[in-house]
Chains A and B, each alone.
Chain A
Amino acid sequence: AQTVTQSQPEMSVQEAETVTLSCTYDTSESDYYLFWYKQPPSRQMILVIRQEAYKQQNATENRFSVNFQKAAKSFSLKISDSQLGDAAMYFCAYRSVRRSQGNLIFGKGTKLSVKP
């Protein structure tokens, strides 16, 4: 079975600085999707960025980028120029591409605080 591990329960960053959130996963599959979700206090789950495992190029969305190391099964999220609105819980998630396993498997999350 696949597992997702986020080893940092809490992180803190100064406004305008850069922070990296860690995520590792375990799977025997060769093709899959990886995601980072943001959950602010409103509880809404917001997709931040996604990566297809067959793509070697790291995904980027504005200030958010990932470092995808497939051999190491590592998928870290880098937030550049941190803003106060980035403060939230961040969840790393894995999803199989097989139709019989369409659900997301989540890590336990990292709480990010942004200091003004």
Chain B
Amino acid sequence: DAGVIQSPRHEVTEMGQEVTLRCKPISGHNSLFWYRQTMMRGLELLIYFNNNVPIDDSGMPEDRFSAKMPNASFSTLKIQPSEPRDSAVYFCASSFRQDVEKLFFGSGTQLSVL
């Protein structure tokens, strides 16, 4: 298995632009998580899905952030409009819901908003 695949690996954009981050979970996994990592706040959960349904989005910072999971093999995290304070590494992770201790991470997307 190729693991959790995230794209792009790096994204540089200007303030006000729309940014879309993509994630392909491991085949067969039915839980998907989006995390954000910054120096100041560490790793924070933004949102997670079980069976393509959002379960907890309390970590989404504000309405500029939205996440979708249209099917079991694809998820997006969108920021519109982007701001410099959104600059961070965004991680996607997946697991079998029943296998709570085995969470697999992607390599992350480094987002820089100028």
Contact = CB atoms under 8 A, between A and B. Distances in A.
Contacts of A52: 101
Contact of A95 (B42, B43, B50, B100): B100
Nearest to B43: A106
Contacts of A109: 42-43
A91 B95 CA distance: 19
A42 B56 CA distance: 29
B89 interface: yes
Contacts of A47: 102-103
A28 interface: no
Interface string A19-37: 0000000000000010100
A102 B48 contact: yes
A107 B42 contact: yes
B45 A43 contact: no
A99 B97 contact: yes
Nearest to B109: A43
Contacts of A33: 100-101
B75 to A, nearest CB: 15
Interface of B: 31, 33, 42-43, 45, 48, 50, 55-56, 89, 91, 93, 95, 97, 100-103, 105, 107-108, 110
Interface of A: 33, 35, 42-45, 47, 50, 52, 91, 95-97, 99-109
